[in-house]
Amino acid sequence: MTKRSIIDVPDLSLPELDRLMDTAEDIIARPDDYADACRRKKLATLFFEPSTRTRLSFEAAMYELGGNVLSVTGAATSSAAKGESVADTAKTVSCYADIIAMRHPKEGAALVAARNASVPVINAGDGGHCHPTQTLADLLTIRREKGRLDRVTVGLCGDLKFGRTVHSLIGALSRYAGLRFVLVSPEELKVPSYVKNEHLKKNGIPYLQTTDLEEVIGDLDILYMTRVQRERFFNEEDYLRLRDSYILTPEKLKKARKDLCVMHPLPRVNEISVAVDDDPRACYFKQVLNGKYMRMALILMLLREAGKL
Ligand code: CP
């Protein structure tokens, strides 16, 4: 029995990712078989940053597994507001819950929690660093839509500097064969060097960097749009200048392939026109639903490994 935490996607091997996706598919096909799987188990959701999808999908996941949920929503309503450390919070919550999902504005906070908790910790987003369970949702979406995770050309567009979902997705997809990335961003919001060095250059993965979405949209199998992350900017002026750099519209989609898969981790602000929602290539709300099933699969895996099921 091992207490294992998930801080980023590389914490999971490729066979484990496959098994998680297979479990998610099985949950989709046979939800009743899982309705009691986590009976009497408790998930604590500790969210020190705003969230709609991640927190609610973790909570829905645990309820659909027959378990219960304890929740902290916002630093102001917990003893973090009195100065309690992440380490002490993790030790404390381990006394009440069987597993923890935590979102925190500081990079590395989930790792600190994992080192101090006596139960598994899942990183639900740490600052601009990474967001592994969003990546699980993304992988299942690509596998369901394209039928494969290898041999795809993936366009990532928008705030590639602060977008933690982008960093985790590059890390995950870089382990599959035949990948090609097209990185579309303003000069100021390019993918950080450490992400390129660690994943793309080290693995010899071809990538193109450009500022022009329309020039490359026709080459893509996947277009992953992202929001410009206002909360990570030091300067409001820069945010206002860059926020509308890319807006996907039905007009721009005319140049794209008929089987393009348009993704977005959401929330969207202005990056995808609502008129795109009716296009069969829009997959971002399917992504939301896939996230719940992958979180169910992950909770099951970690509780089983910890000997709690
Ligand atoms: N995709 C995502 O993390 O959404 P929330 O911020 O609403 O959780």
> Which pLDDT score, from 0 to 100, does residue 132 have?
95
Chunked mean pLDDT (size 10), the chain, 309 residues: 90 96 98 98 96 97 98 88 95 98 96 98 92 97 97 96 90 95 94 94 96 97 90 76 88 97 95 97 98 98 97
Substitution site in 51, 129, 134, 269 for ligand 1 pocket (most atoms within 8 Å of beta carbon)? 51
| CATH 3.30.450.40 holds for 132-288 | no
Active site residues: 53-54, 82, 103, 131
CA atoms within 13 A on the CB side of 131: 26
- Domain 9-130+291-305: CATH superfamily, name plus number: Aspartate/ornithine carbamoyltransferase (3.40.50.1370)
Cα torsion angle, 67, 266, 120, 105, sign? negative
d(CA 47, CA 243): 25
Q: How far is the CA of 77 from the centre of ligand 1 (A)?
A: 20
Domain boundaries, the chain: 9-130+291-305, 132-288
Ligand 1: residues with CB < 6 A are 51-54, 125, 134, 265-267
* Ligand 1 pocket mutation pick from 47, 48, 53, 141 by most atoms within 8 angstroms of CB: 53
Query: Is the fold of 9-130+291-305 the same as that of 132-288?
Result: yes
What's the rounded Cα separation, in Å, for the pair 95 and 236? 41
Distance 127 CA to ligand 1 centre (A): 12
From the CA of 131, give the closest atom in ligand 1. 3
CA of 1 to the centre of ligand 1 (A): 31
Q: How many Cα atoms are found within 13 Å in the side-chain-facing hemisphere of 48?
A: 24
pLDDT at res. 163: 84
Q: How far apart are CA 128 and CA 131, in angstroms?
A: 9
Q: pTM of the prediction? A: 0.95
Give residue 241's pLDDT. 81
Q: What's residue 76's pLDDT? A: 87
Taking the CA of residue 124 as reference, the ligand 1 atom at the shortest distance is 3
